Structure 1
């Protein structure tokens, strides 16, 4: 996720050293367990009461109406770049605006898409579908059967939760297929095997889910078959960790096909299997390696740990290739070749493929790069770096398996997004669309600076601020980071951030702290499990560096983060309340003692450790878990806590309980829980604009007044 504007920064090593020392709250007697019932009448009455109290104040702020209108106008602007995909010989796009709050899926030709005002044909109207069926439908995903891409699987969520209903859709007829594939609500994993068969991971019978609520059994479902007739292809274990077993079918333009199943062992480690005539056979690659693509009969493997059996060149962060025929014949005896190796400040950000080329997105000191790799006769590749602007984020977009074309986006904090059409075979680039500026950036500048963390490691961060600011600590500054799951945070253009914050004189900071993937797998692994305090030290170090440089001061410094970034906010809130005057905690994890009991929390034990199985992990989180480490009598800043009732990934329980404990201690806070939206800001543009306006009203009250 982007850490701000939901869509969708020299510390001590001792936790809590900056605040009064006291024993953590006991975990065995939790008076707020009842708030863990997501939609119970008692819990929802609590939510409604606290929503009303907070919105009464924030919506009464004279800035709120303007903030809301600006946020909605930017989110629903007609001149946004429609995100394109190559599908069924046309360009498809999913579009939301004030007239289509849940969105329409539409198509046009490539030639027409390149024009200033394309003529679109609506394929699926999600708002109309929801109205006709009496559902709060949110489109969650589309998977079309290659190479024809006529038949597609449409995933629909009621209210934005992760669980979906899946239906088959025909692009030629423009409607759902009568008697076609249909899966009732669940956390499904589905892949087309061929026109008449799906590989499906789901809860086939009561109890067929892991403790995290994800499937571990894959079956082959034939067209016209009831679910009960599906044939088992693979079975993991009910106690598997991670996000559930996932089938995928890779195809290339030469007609090659490879069915892959990933069996998760925890959040990051998984076993890989290929489905052959002999059944599902395990592939002898490391547990932190993934089969990601197929080009010209070459299987692409991304390494997040060293493949020691393959040789010293196959280090963490590298990309390797395998011969498809040899892999199918003997998946336990492999002869990989190296394709790409990262430098000391490099990392991989994306892999895509066209008809005959491979595209790689990389970072070099948090600056985006894009490369094309063309298979060479007799083996090897011809690599070309695409001539894209420097000092920007480069994102690989949709790639066309019928040609060598692919879309690539370049953007920066002050640079509106430019969409390029690249030719993977020739390396040529064509500017297709450029986003009109959404705010006045003429008075702003971007710097990349470094702080020193508690162990001496340099931590880079970006600062966006007005030119010629007075270095006297008076600049209102909003800082964010994510710090987990090997997610790289790079510069990006946000009209909402620019219009609602930068134009009003605020500064914005994005910190590249450990736990992310900005410098490869080692940057992530440095903060796993009980090593996690260093992530929080990194964030604190950046804050102290901003204060030491007199860019801002604790009175004018606010922080914001969501999901794992919400946990980061909770820890910083409890460990260093003296450093901030505003803290925005969004869809957060906060009770790290009961995390495995709430929503999908058990699936993240590879990131945070297992408090139930490892006493060292339990001891660590008893010292750091925000919910357990709130203390009466401490002067905390007044936070803004946001969550959603429909979040079945992290769950609203963490936010509710944290707020309830603050209330018990007579500590002030703002709380808002959207009743829809899933793990995000809202189920539609108006809900998201409301959330953003509330957040900005809060931040401006705290940091600009």
Structure 2
């Protein structure tokens, strides 16, 4: 590969013969990528089993009995659906009772294949901002090419039509959210003066109905070197909070509350605050590094804390800080969600999911676990902000995904949807092991293989290790059908750089410590060989996006 790269690049320097690859949109770099892709495609498609394998994978990905996942709002469950007939997808809804039935009766809101055929553009649905309190009006995002830039149009769900002379903006990386029915918050990224160096919004503007987008009023700005700014509205009961933010980089930001006076008051949390929520007058938050609150409370990573937000709005000062959830060894926070009356904390306990339900009363915080299955990947599928419905997803390597639903804030649970099994899981076992990395850190990993395995078999080792994203157990029919069913093993490594054990696990593979992630991956590879699961010659490795 080295000789191919250097021979074809006359501008390569002696110091760095691959410097031309830094210009990722340059002709030389792209031509080289296309040549490597052609080699790979030829190798793959030259395999006699390629076509049958491809068609099996396609059938599984587009099966019409795939489980529809949705979120409840005002009596309906909304879902985006793609299959062989609807390649670009349907945005649709059904009443909650219908969703729980074996065959829901879906009402199509937008058919993107029909819209694309009508307008001659392959529109890719990018989501919608809904207008409180009836949620029928939307600011709809549609990408003309599937990229980051989306066109925005105002849409009426009740009439299933775009609003004539409604809000509309050309494709860009801008963001839009409702302030009220006649005013939109625009996180603008149109002209160069609106953009950060990263190409994301730098300015937030108020855009009033009936006026031109160019005439929108700026109310908030970030610096050119910041990653982005963003704005939106959050409701806590009947209280409306207009929140504005400057994202300095991937993991640090400054948050502001826009007061009725027009002042943008900074919320005095640390720059690396995370897992924030406003719930029953409390500002709930976590931290990525230790922080001493103004009252002396020690806030630690993987813990959750709260302070009286309503008091701060009135006085400009924080009162006493409270611990909602204390940190625990190898337990990290995967996310927060809230219904009208409950706050839910999604935890990972040694890479296995749990959910804690929290309530806030006059006497303080009360916590109790939600009675969900153990030893798998548990997530919060949706939480109805203005209601009491909440649903949870459950899966592991050998168990198809299911949706567990509650209409009463997690008290009563029922499995309402399950993904059909795509392969016979009975011959297989999922195990968790640990490997000792070069610096002595124990790295957990999962192995999925036949329970009657007698000797080494081909194994695929997958890792990620980036952006504080955890790599969790998950069912994959394609993996089972096309890999496990051939007698092979699958290995998933929870290397540093990811978010399996909170911010510290991520920070342990940043910048000068990046080598730790590669050492962790190598340690897992050596460990599966040592255990006799596979051999070096039979081990393949895979990763993507994060290098």
How does the TM-score come out when normalised to structure 1?
0.72
Q: Could you say which structure has the higher strand fraction?
A: 2
Q: Distance in 2 between matches of 1:55 and 1:265?
A: 40
Aligned residue for 1:207, secondary structure, equals helix
Q: Could you tell me whether the CA contact under 8 Å between 1:291 and 1:299 is conserved in 2?
A: no
Q: Distance in 2 between matches of 1:527 and 1:48?
A: 31
Structure 1 residues 489-528: aligned runs within 5 Å: 489-528=471-510
Shift of 1:294: 2.5
Cα distance 1:131–1:48, how it changes in 2: closer, same or farther (>3 A)?
A: farther
Q: Could you tell me whether the CA contact under 8 Å between 2:390 and 2:410 is conserved in 1?
A: no
Q: Distance in 1 between matches of 2:70 and 2:104?
A: 12
Aligned residue for 1:79, secondary structure, equals coil
Q: Which runs of 4+ in 1 moved over 4 A?
A: 31-35, 42-53
Q: Distance in 2 between matches of 1:52 and 1:344?
A: 47
Q: Could you tell me whether the CA contact under 8 Å between 1:374 and 1:425 is conserved in 2?
A: no
- Structure 2 match to 1:205: 191
Cα distance 1:517–1:236, how it changes in 2: closer, same or farther (>3 A)?
A: same
1:96-135 deviation digits (Å, cap 9, x = unpaired): 0000111101111111111111111111111121222221
- Structure 2 match to 1:546: 528
- Structure 1 match to 2:15: 26
Shift of 1:136: 2.2
Structure 1 residues 150-189: aligned runs within 5 Å: 150-189=136-175
Structure 2 runs not aligned, ≥5 long: 1-12
- Structure 1 match to 2:4: none
Structure 1 residues 73-472: aligned runs within 5 Å: 73-240=59-226, 242=227, 244-252=228-236, 254-276=237-259, 277-290=261-274, 292-310=276-294, 311-331=296-316, 333-376=318-361, 378-423=362-407, 425=409, 427-471=411-455
Shift of 1:375: 2.3
Q: Distance in 1 between matches of 2:198 and 2:113?
A: 31
Q: Distance in 1 between matches of 2:492 and 2:453?
A: 18
Cα distance 1:316–1:503, how it changes in 2: closer, same or farther (>3 A)?
A: same
Q: Distance in 1 between matches of 2:497 and 2:115?
A: 41
Cα distance 1:406–1:278, how it changes in 2: closer, same or farther (>3 A)?
A: same
Shift of 1:470: 2.4
| More displaced stretch, 216-225 vs 100-109 | 216-225
How does the TM-score come out when normalised to structure 2?
0.92
Cα distance 1:510–1:444, how it changes in 2: closer, same or farther (>3 A)?
A: same
Q: Distance in 2 between matches of 1:434 and 1:212?
A: 41
Structure 1 residues 3-18: aligned runs within 5 Å: none
Structure 1 runs not aligned, ≥5 long: 1-23, 568-705
Q: Could you tell me whether the CA contact under 8 Å between 2:112 and 2:124 is conserved in 1?
A: yes
- Structure 1 match to 2:25: 36
| More displaced stretch, 185-194 vs 107-116 | 185-194
| More displaced stretch, 329-338 vs 500-509 | 329-338
Q: How well do the aligned residues superpose, as a CA RMSD in angstroms?
A: 2.1
Shift of 1:48: 5.8
1:29-81 deviation digits (Å, cap 9, x = unpaired): 734567624xx6x8777666655544334223221111111111111112211
Q: Distance in 2 between matches of 1:270 and 1:454?
A: 34
Aligned residue for 2:193, secondary structure, equals coil
Aligned residue for 2:224, secondary structure, equals coil
Structure 1 residues 62-77: aligned runs within 5 Å: 62-77=48-63
- Structure 2 match to 1:619: none
Q: Distance in 1 between matches of 2:334 and 2:115?
A: 36
Shift of 1:547: 1.2
- Structure 1 match to 2:468: 486
Cα distance 1:34–1:450, how it changes in 2: closer, same or farther (>3 A)?
A: closer
Aligned residue for 2:473, secondary structure, equals coil
Q: Distance in 2 between matches of 1:420 and 1:221?
A: 40
Q: Distance in 1 between matches of 2:152 and 2:381?
A: 24
Aligned residue for 2:527, secondary structure, equals helix
Q: Could you tell me whether the CA contact under 8 Å between 1:220 and 1:230 is conserved in 2?
A: yes
| More displaced stretch, 420-429 vs 93-102 | 420-429
Shift of 1:291: 6.7
Shift of 1:339: 1.4
| More displaced stretch, 518-527 vs 444-453 | 518-527
Cα distance 1:25–1:549, how it changes in 2: closer, same or farther (>3 A)?
A: farther
Shift of 1:423: 4.4
Q: Could you say which structure has the higher helix fraction?
A: 1
Q: Could you tell me whether the CA contact under 8 Å between 2:293 and 2:321 is conserved in 1?
A: no
Shift of 1:312: 4.5
